[in-house]
Amino acid sequence: MQDVLNEKLTLISVNIATFSGYRRATRDHIAALGGNLPTSAAITEGSIKVFPCDGTKELQTVRRSVFRKLQAHGVRALGSQNVFAVLTTDLSEIETEIESARKEFEQNRNDLDTNYELIFQAHVAANPEAETIIRSLKVERATALSKCRFSTDVFKIAPFVRPGQSVDDGVEGMVRGLGRQLYTEIASDMLKLLKNDAFEKQRVGQKTLRPIKAAIQKMEKLAFLDDSVNSAVSFVETILATLPIEGYISGQYFATLERLVEVMSDVDDLVNAAGKVRNGIAACDVLFPQVVHAATPAPVVVAVQEVAIAIPATDAQALSAEVVPVVDVVVAPVATPADSAPLVVVLPQIHVASLLGGVPEKVIVKSSPASIPAGILKPRSAIKPNSLLF
């Protein structure tokens, strides 16, 4: 691990500052205006635009360009937004780009120095209702230009080794932190991609894939920061290979792309996906896990023996037999184990035989489904009370 800090990585600190053009109004400024701020595009809640943003637009463009290039080459380090860990082998190229950006920045700063007063007067003329407060809060040219700075530093770092701790332990902790930072920056870029208007339309062009391809290149360069990075690269490249290489991406292809970006936009999800690919699971199965359905066992049919029923002959009204068919019933247990099948209980038909004169007071009749004539169902209210079986 020591070679990562000593040989593979170099740190670059970049400090590019510009004049924002905003100032806060004090109580004295507000009192001088009669206690109220005028309604103006130059006045927002809590701040006054005393110099137009367009006046420093070129300086801001240079700043964004430098940070974008550095982020493409490396990752932010030491918890700073201005320090980047880059490959030592890329240092020469990066310094050339930074020097070119410095010259452009200085040229734009000189242009601002020349045109500062003209830009300020044009800003006042565009906001006449706020002229008084803008002039009272004016930032002088020398002060504004002093805020426009461009500086860089290139350095190496070494971990602080505490008593009882080895150098390798300290180095490993720093490198592991950079690996996590790599995943964090990839996730941040993918979150921005998800907010792209094209994703709402569920139809995107090939240009949409550029941030993903840039993320692949970045991970390939810095794969030594974490063992899982190569697997993450393999996962993303495999999924991209399934998408069309020309024209729009829509339908099922868009669903695949959207799911890929969602996974990459979450650090833990991307790390987990990389781990599964490393363990031999296909990338497509990682992106869309297969749903395993438990096999449904065949129902168990239990035949219940025929039931013998004793019926007292107490009434002449019971001379005609009524047949009440009983259908098969599925009895669901209150709590059925996951591996057991539903229980089906088959109840035979039960009938009441005709009670003829001279028959003993009690008779035992066994049901015989084969010999029972087709019965006619009657409403419960139409059945005699002493003929009801249940």
Q: pLDDT digits over 344-389, tens only? A: 444 444 444 444 444 444 444 444 444 445 455 666 666 666 655 5
Q: What is the pLDDT of residue 327?
A: 47
Same domain, 83 and 16: yes
Same domain, 80 and 137: yes
Output the pTM of the full model: 0.61
Total number of residues shown for the chain: 390
Same domain, 149 and 172: no
Q: pLDDT digits over 171-191, tens only? A: 677 777 888 899 999 999 999
Q: What's at 175, amino acid-wise? A: V
Same domain, 201 and 145: no
User: Pick from 155, 181, 198: which residue ends a domain?
Assistant: 155
Alpha-carbon span 38 to 48, nearest angstrom: 11
Same domain, 106 and 128: yes
Let me know if residue 265 belongs to a domain. Answer: yes
Let me know if residue 15 belongs to a domain. Answer: yes
Q: Please report, for residues 151, 172, 173, 208, 289, the alpha-carbon distance to residue 224 in angstroms, rounded to integers and kept in the order given.
A: 29, 12, 14, 28, 29
Q: For residue 307, give its domain range.
A: 300-387
All residue ranges of the chain with pLDDT < 50 are 311, 313, 315-324, 326-331, 334-336, 338-340, 343-372, 374
Same domain, 145 and 176: no
Q: What is the pLDDT of residue 298?
A: 63
User: Pick from 287, 322, 354: which residue ends a domain?
Assistant: 287
Let me know if residue 62 belongs to a domain. Answer: yes
- Do residues 317 and 354 make contact, with C-beta atoms less than 8 angstroms apart? no
Q: How many separate domains does the chain show?
A: 3
Same domain, 217 and 341: no
Q: What is the pLDDT of residue 49?
A: 82
Same domain, 327 and 196: no
Same domain, 234 and 214: yes
Q: What is the pLDDT of residue 360?
A: 45
Same domain, 271 and 314: no
Tokens of 45: 């809640």
Alpha-carbon span 218 to 236, nearest angstrom: 13
Let me know if residue 146 belongs to a domain. Answer: yes
Same domain, 148 and 16: yes
Q: What is the pLDDT of residue 26?
A: 63
Let me know if residue 292 belongs to a domain. Answer: no
Let me know if residue 104 belongs to a domain. Answer: yes
Q: What is the pLDDT of residue 278?
A: 93
Same domain, 189 and 325: no
Q: What is the pLDDT of residue 149?
A: 93
Tokens of 305: 């023996």
Q: What is the pLDDT of residue 27?
A: 61
Let me know if residue 185 belongs to a domain. Answer: yes
User: Pick from 287, 311, 328: which residue ends a domain?
Assistant: 287
Q: What is the pLDDT of residue 156?
A: 83
Output Rg (C-alpha) for the chain, integer angstroms.
41
Let me know if residue 160 belongs to a domain. Answer: no
CA angle 307/310/313 to nearest 5° reads: 145
